[in-house]
Structure 1
Amino acid sequence: MSQFLELTERSQHLLKVLIERYIDEGQPVGSRTLSRGAGLNLSPATIRNIMADLEELGLIASPHTSAGRVPTVKGYRLFIDSLLTVKPLEAGVTRELWKGFESLEEPHELLGAASRLLAQVSRMAGLVTLPRRGQVAFRHIEFLPLSQGRVLVVLVTDDDEVYNRVIRPSQAFTPSQLQQASNYLNARLEGKRLTELRDAIRQEVQQTEKRISEEIKSVLEAAGSLFMKPESLEEDYVLAGQTNLMDFTELSEQARLRKLFEAFDEKRDLLHLLDQCIEAEGVQIFIGEESGYWPFEQCSLVTRSYEVEGRVLGVLGVIGPTRMRYESVIPLVDITAKLLSTALNQKLASPS
């Protein structure tokens, strides 16, 4: 923002026009082009001086092969934060997005539809992270006795997923004791996130130690061990439209495109980047090197979280070149996240 305050009104206007022109055409913008398209009564010499000032501030740069200028990451950031006019999404587009959701029943179908719709409308890549196991909440648990002292744990989450795990407690339990433990946890832990369960169970054992039997305490401690391993909370995403990125000259160079597609397949670093958006409010934008991830050096990522009953489950977004049309991509991502949240709430909010 301090750099924004350093700019005169006409410098701001010229920067805005230059970036919009570059986004439209993908070619460096020269002073003569700006003098014709800026709508200001300025000579090419004056415009060249202003462009030199913008370049000194690090907002634009001059490629070696051209006399024109292109925006830098800093220039894009200032443009998005201070100069961009976001266009409301057309009502017809919103209706088409909702049509893509309303006929689907299963949560995984809704998530897949969201990634495809983002790709179709933006003509870039659309992605949606699957509900993070750490964000999904506990609904119900049952302990069922098996042979040889083993216990089957059936865990039901609030997104209607069912997980089965066999544990081997240090001692045998009767069906009655296991039922007592189930009742105890179901009465106290409903709504807790899965990542919170181990600590919550441990706390229950400590606080109620005098009011529960040693047998029930052992069952609870065994249940707590289910949530010790972070790999049991793995997350993933669905991606659509990645081949759309081949249509952009700056991304189509073979080595760069290969690295980008390898990043999509490898997933870990991209998921780490998306994880930064989970708790953030509103639309988040990473421009080029802001992602800290080399394969995305020429890309921007526009994201927003989606939720059920006010609880964030994951993130969706659009990946494209840094010269994407932010004024239309931002509302697209925003509305799609809200529509996906609405659709998921309708399918998942009421226990079946």
Structure 2
Amino acid sequence: MSNRRLEILRAIVDEYVATQEPVGSKAIADRHGLGISPATIRNEMAVLEDEGLIAQPHTSAGRIPTDAGYRLFVDRIETVKPLSGAERRAIETFLEGALDLDDVVMRTVRLLADVTKQVAVVQYPSMIKSKVRHVELVSLTPSRMMMILITDSGRVEQRVIELSNDVNDIFIASLRNQINNALAGYRLPEVADRITGIMDIY
């Protein structure tokens, strides 16, 4: 894609984000100093529309960016402004004290919403399709341990388990090996059936 066409796409994105109104060739020529006529801009906009990067929402002569246009804008045009020291410290302070991954994610969502003044939504990977990557058992006391489950999607779940009898490190190591041998690589809905055999052993 030519630099001129990219500059026109940039102008359309900038104008639409600022006004939320379809953008016409005259507005681009008047406000963005590209040094080309509205007629030339219209020709380039026709190419951008054919490529699926902008669209005409109704009978208005203006155009708006499509999802593909925004994606190209982010990937090839927009430069990322480095965070200042003050901004870094503010973000670090905001995230300090997070208890777990879920807490970090929710704090990050609130931060994004505050910064962008837009609604921020988080979507976790589907747990139904996730597979077990590893299970770790950590002794907390002789009658209490923590189970940490890591999925192939990177999700981490942890639970504290209260035991009816005291157990030692040898028992925990044996149980850890049995669980990983039985569950690693299997989807979460399959875990319940496979763990039944381990329960029978112990």
Same fold (TM over 0.5): yes
Q: 2:5 aligns with which of 5, 11, 21?
A: 11
Corresponding residue number in structure 2 for 1:234: none
Match among 147, 156, 159 for residue 157 of structure 1: 147
Aligned to 2:199: 222
Distance in 2 between the 1:19 and 1:124 partners? 17
SS of 2:120's equivalent? Answer: strand
Using the alignment, how far apart are the partners of 2:113 and 2:10 within structure 1? 26
Q: Quote the Cα distance in structure 1 between the aligned partners of 2:44 and 2:8.
A: 8
Deviation at residue 88 of structure 1 after TM alignment? 1.7
1:174-253 aligned at under 5 Å gives the runs 179=167, 183-186=170-173, 189=176, 196=180, 198-199=182-183, 221-222=198-199
Alignment match of 2:17 (pick from 18, 23, 41):
23
Distance 1:69 1:137, change over 3 A: same
Aligned equivalents of 1:38, 1:64: Cα separation in 2: 24
- Mapped to 1, the partners of 2:118 and 2:81 lie a distance apart of 18
Cα deviation for residue 81 of structure 1 reads 1.9
Q: Write the deviation string for residues 213-253 of structure 1: whole angstroms up to 9, x where unpaired.
A: xxxxxx9721799xxxxxxxxxxxxxxxxxxxxxxxxxxxx
Please say if residues 141 and 186 of structure 1, whose CA atoms lie closer than 8 Å, have aligned partners that are also in contact.
no
Identify which of 26, 32, 36 aligns with 1:32.
Answer: 26
Residue in 2 aligned with 1:140? Answer: 138
Per the normalisation by structure 2, the TM-score is 0.67
Q: Which runs of 5+ in 1 are unaligned?
A: 1-6, 145-152, 167-174, 201-218, 226-352
User: Does 2:45 correspond to 1:51?
Assistant: yes
1:174-221: CA deviation from partner (whole Å, max 9, x where unpaired): x7xx947x724426738x9x8x46336xxxxxxxxxxxxxxxxxx972
State the distance in 1 between where 2:60 and 2:68 align.
Answer: 20
Note the aligned Cα RMSD (angstroms): 4.0
1:1-352 paired onto structure 2 within 5 Å: 7-102=1-96, 104=97, 106-107=99-100, 109-127=103-121, 137-140=135-138, 155-158=145-148, 161-164=159-162, 179=167, 183-186=170-173, 189=176, 196=180, 198-199=182-183, 221-222=198-199
Larger relative contact order (CA 8 Å, sep ≥ 6) = 1
Query: For residues 70 and 78 of structure 1, what CA distance do their matches in structure 2 show?
Result: 14
Would the aligned equivalents of 2:135 and 2:176 in 1 still touch at CA under 8 Å?
no
**What amino acid is the match of 1:56?**
D
Deviation sequence 1:151-181 (CA, Å, 0-9, x none) = xx96513576303589xxxxxxxx7xx947x
Partner of 1:125, secondary structure, is coil
Q: Which residue identity is paired with 1:156?
A: M
2:88 and 2:147 mapped to 1: Cα distance?
Answer: 31
| 2-structure distance, mates of 1:34, 1:183 | 72
Contact 1:32 1:44 in 2 (8 A): yes
User: Taking structure 1 as reference, are residues 125 and 224 closer, same or farther at Cα in structure 2, changes over 3 Å only?
Assistant: farther
Stretches of structure 2 that go unaligned for 5 or more consecutive residues are: 149-156, 185-195
% same residue = 31
